[in-house]
């Protein structure tokens, strides 16, 4: 095979199957450079947290093996995209670059790069791969973005069915211009090695993702109506695989859409609507690229968040608050890099309401510790719980962790699994009184709302 090579720049799409950028490069019939760039510098790129770095290491390892099995190779480079991509083009003589689209603030980097490559007379093409519905294609009757999930998802469901997944290439004519060794990126923790629980829980890579999907469709989807029970394995645990693009939402969609048992089929639409929440989070992020740092609802800018001592915050981070369900969730997160959705809501509500700590503090901790830490879903969900977000639970709806535990973990199995010392002298007293702290949060919110109403009244004629 000869001719100028094509570059495939992989980002959140670490897979060979259903990868339109890779498929286009292979189809072009020229040698292919498959690149992953560790870019911690470009505008809009948020450096990965610790758990995500662990995941990335293993995911890249698997992907390298898969590419090698097809005749290709994975080139690893480090640096800002705006420098690294042009220099790789020059070095290899490539005349085309392909990538799958990103939807957060980093898309500005992509847009600038695309113009530059095209201005140089070369090809740069981007593809839809990570979302079923691209954010700008779903609009309200008035032509604007949605701020509420139900009508948003209804509009999506009125669209044509998402396309079928693309098969993996059968052969890749790869060239490897030389790059970094994965180990030199030191993505894995060493001193201390805190990743034991992650290794026990996860198999990063596309094969692990497809195994999880198959197991879920065959065995767990039938129990998905009990998905709020944290001790039951009723959810898919696909979130980190989707986050890194080891499996595409199109692959998930088409596997779940057809060929299920009758018991599983009953829960199908509910499950697909959760995939819809992921889409909705990206819809919000696309229209609010600063979602992780700025209140979606500006009236929350005046909220009097408290500034806790680090030691106090550490009680929440390490699962030592004295509220068993909160501690169980925070310890599950620390150990496995994942927390059950219901408990994410409870722990986030406890931080933002009972402790009145700014949601951004919680978002950052989750960003560092979750293997599925996702720039759209994490920020949108934190804001949703805090009350400052799109389609948010109202601020005055404060989760009562004790009632939540009674309802969703009635036999205390989840709590006992993660907090074995609960009920003994070793277990700490609650760090706040739940009733008093709830009232204090409501009073603070009342004060902000009253100030806002009086400002509005003063402005109106
Ligand atoms: C405070 C907070 C922070 C969160 N941070 C993240 C995050 O960083 N990354 C992340 O992927 N999810 C996040 N979520 C959403 C949700 O908790 C996880 O997606 C879910 O627990 C993953 O488990 P699962 O794969 O078994 O879910 P399933 O129930 O099997 O759902 C299937 C898929 O749908 C998507 N999904 C499900 N629920 C949601 C939701 N509420 N919002 C967005 N997508 C959803 C995920 O991709 C998930 O893998 C957060 C929720 C809260 C309350």
To the question of whether residue 224 is assigned a binding role by annotation, the answer is yes
Q: 201 CB less than 6 Å from ligand 1?
A: no
Class of domain 298-450: mainly alpha
Please say whether the structural domain 6-129 has been given the CATH code 3.40.50.620.
Answer: yes
Q: What are the extents of the domains in the chain?
A: 6-129, 131-163+205-287, 298-450
Ligand 1: atom nearest CA of 345 is 53
To the question of whether residue 349 is assigned a binding role by annotation, the answer is no
The CA distances from residue 454 to 387, 427, 442, 457, 459, in Å, are 21, 46, 18, 5, 9
Over residues 153-163, the mean pLDDT reads 97
Q: 383 CB less than 6 Å from ligand 1?
A: no
Please report the pLDDT score of residue 460 as a whole number: 66
87 pLDDT tier (thresholds 50, 70, 90): very high
Over residues 88-106, the mean pLDDT reads 97
Neighbours of 334 (CB within 10 A): 18
Please report the pLDDT score of residue 451 as a whole number: 74
Over residues 27-32, the mean pLDDT reads 97
Please report the pLDDT score of residue 432 as a whole number: 97
Class of domain 131-163+205-287: mainly alpha
Q: What angle, rounded to 10 degrees, do the helices at 268-287 and 149-157 form?
A: 110
To the question of whether residue 127 is assigned a binding role by annotation, the answer is no
Q: Do domains 6-129 and 298-450 have the same CATH topology?
A: no
* Dihedral over alpha carbons 300, 302, 303, 305 (to 10 degrees): 120
pLDDT digit string (tens) for 110-129?
A: 999 999 999 999 999 999 99
Taking the C-alpha atoms of residue 365 and residue 50, their distance in angstroms, rounded to an integer, is 10
To the question of whether residue 126 is assigned a binding role by annotation, the answer is no
pLDDT above 70 as % of the chain: 99
Mean pLDDT computed over every residue of the chain: 96
Please report the pLDDT score of residue 278 as a whole number: 98
185 burial via Cβ count (<10 Å: 0-12, 13-18, 19+): middle
For residue 336, the CA-to-ligand 1 centroid distance in Å is 15
Please report the pLDDT score of residue 44 as a whole number: 84
For residue 446, the CA-to-ligand 1 centroid distance in Å is 30
Q: Which of 228, 278, 284 to mutate to test the pocket of ligand 1 (most atoms within 8 A of CB)?
A: 278
Q: 239 CB less than 6 Å from ligand 1?
A: yes
89 pLDDT tier (thresholds 50, 70, 90): very high
Q: 237 CB less than 6 Å from ligand 1?
A: yes
Q: 381 CB less than 6 Å from ligand 1?
A: yes
Taking the C-alpha atoms of residue 388 and residue 237, their distance in angstroms, rounded to an integer, is 27
For residue 379, the CA-to-ligand 1 centroid distance in Å is 11
pLDDT digit string (tens) for 368-378?
A: 999 999 999 99
For residue 341, the CA-to-ligand 1 centroid distance in Å is 6
Please report the pLDDT score of residue 1 as a whole number: 65
299 pLDDT tier (thresholds 50, 70, 90): confident
Please report the pLDDT score of residue 397 as a whole number: 83
To the question of whether residue 239 is assigned a binding role by annotation, the answer is yes
Q: Which of 31-35, 98-102, 256-260, 293-297 is the least confident region? A: 256-260
Token pair listed for 166: 């693309």
416 pLDDT tier (thresholds 50, 70, 90): very high
Q: Which of 86-95, 135-144, 438-447 is the least confident region? A: 438-447
Ligand 1: atom nearest CA of 373 is 8
């Amino acid at each position: 095979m000869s001719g100028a090579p094509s570059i495939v720049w992989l980002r959140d799409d670490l897979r060979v199957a259903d990868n339109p950028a890779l498929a286009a490069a292979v189809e072009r019939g020229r040698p292919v450079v498959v690149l992953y760039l560790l870019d911690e510098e470009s505008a809009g790129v948020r450096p990965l947290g610790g758990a995500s770095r662990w995941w990335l290491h293993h995911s890249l390892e698997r992907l390298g093996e898969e590419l090698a099995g097809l005749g290709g190779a994975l080139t690893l480079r480090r640096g800002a995209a705006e420098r690294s991509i042009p220099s790789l083009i020059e070095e290899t003589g490539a005349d085309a670059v392909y990538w799958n689209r990103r939807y957060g603030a980093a898309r500005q980097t992509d847009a600038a790069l695309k113009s530059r490559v095209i201005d140089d007379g070369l090809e740069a093409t981007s593809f839809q791969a990570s979302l079923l519905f691209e954010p700008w294609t779903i609009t309200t009757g008035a032509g604007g973005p949605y701020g509420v999930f139900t009508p948003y998802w209804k509009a999506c469901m009125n669209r044509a069915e998402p396309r079928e997944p693309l098969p993996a290439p059968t052969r890749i004519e790869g060239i490897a211009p030389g790059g970094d060794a994965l180990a030199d990126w030191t993505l894995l923790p060493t001193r201390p090695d805190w990743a034991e629980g992650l290794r026990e829980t996860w198999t990063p890579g596309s094969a692990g993702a497809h195994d999880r999907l198959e197991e879920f469709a065959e065995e767990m989807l039938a129990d998905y109506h009990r998905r709020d029970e944290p001790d039951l394995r009723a959810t898919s645990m696909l979130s980190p695989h989707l986050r890194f693009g080891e499996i595409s939402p199109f692959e998930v969609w088409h596997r779940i859409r057809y060929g299920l048992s009758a018991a599983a089929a009953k829960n199908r639409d509910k499950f697909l609507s959760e995939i819809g929440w992921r889409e909705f989070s990206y819809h919000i992020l696309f229209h609010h690229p600063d979602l992780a740092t700025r209140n979606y609802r500006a009236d929350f800018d005046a909220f009097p968040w408290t500034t806790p001592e680090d030691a106090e915050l550490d009680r929440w981070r390490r699962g030592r608050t004295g509220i068993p369900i909160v501690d169980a969730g925070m310890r599950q997160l620390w150990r496995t890099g994942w927390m059950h959705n219901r408990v994410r809501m409870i722990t986030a509500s406890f931080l933002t309401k009972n402790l009145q700590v700014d949601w951004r503090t919680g978002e950052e901790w989750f960003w560092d510790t979750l293997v599925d830490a996702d720039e759209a879903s994490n920020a949108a969900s934190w804001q949703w719980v805090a009350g400052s977000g799109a389609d948010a639970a109202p601020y005055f709806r404060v989760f009562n962790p004790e009632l939540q535990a009674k309802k969703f973990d009635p036999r205390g199995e989840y709590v006992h699994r993660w907090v074995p010392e609960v009920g003994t002298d070793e277990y700490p007293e609650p760090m706040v009184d739940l009733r008093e702290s709830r009232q204090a949060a409501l009073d603070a919110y009342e004060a902000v709302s009253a100030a806002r109403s009086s400002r509005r009244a003063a402005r109106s004629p």
